[in-house]
Structure 1
Amino acid sequence: MIEKFGLFSLAERGYAVPLVRLLRVLDSPRSEFIPLIPQEMAGMVVVDDEIIPLVESALFPGVPAGKALAAEFKVLVATEYGTVALPAEGTIGVVAADRCVLGAAERFAGFLPEAINYRRKEYLVLDVDAFTMSLIRP
């Protein structure tokens, strides 16, 4: 079976999540700031009466803090720790691994050391479980 990825952008940078982990892409969902939450979280997204943590944009390489709540889209992904919402300013779609070029990428915490090159743009591949580990407090 050919692996597929969901592609999205944030602060003009491309990101990819394995399609098997992508649950839904929400267009302008209700997002709320919650006081006293860990700094790795920007707030919460309410989906079908479920409260889902929204990851802070500063956890993405090269993206400043404060963009998560204002991002037009929220990408819901399944992790071994539960569902989390990722901020996205644009959604590109789904691409199969055989339709793009997989290459080496700079190493960032929570990301695989490879990137997808699709239509002349690089998308860092998110390791959703490693990425969300920073949201878990002992």
Structure 2
Amino acid sequence: MTTMIATLAAAFLLVQTIPNQIDVGEANWNNYPRLVTENLAVPNGAMVTRVQRMMQNGECSFEGQRPRRFSIDVNYAVMLDSRGNATRIVVEDVGCRPLELMVGRIAADIVREGYVRVTPPAEPAYYANRINFNLS
């Protein structure tokens, strides 16, 4: 029983943590090192469909973009601590809160599921990436 508890405690320590709050803001996203991740299907078809519905329902609009044909880039940055935990997530302000929150949740899931392939920094540091939602 003690061995099982120790094993569960060790496994719990390996789970990456993420912040509860997702911030939205502006930054020079190219100034941050790239958040390298496993080769993931992000965005997947369901994510693209959600963006399409946001546009169809009038929740979001983007200049030059239509619900049946769009290409929308959304940058995000994750602050990693020395253990590889995300202590802050910042998503680019694209003027569409539902999409910004969706990107924040995607970023949080990437960290939580252990898909980040960046060596944890000695001091907390931001790493950035971008998601392109497109339908053509």
TM class, shorter-length = under 0.3
- The answer to which structure, 1 or 2, has the higher relative contact order (CA under 8 A, 6+ apart) is 2
Name the TM-score, length of structure 2 as normaliser.
0.27
TM-score computed with the length of structure 1 as normaliser? 0.27
Structure index of larger Rg: 2
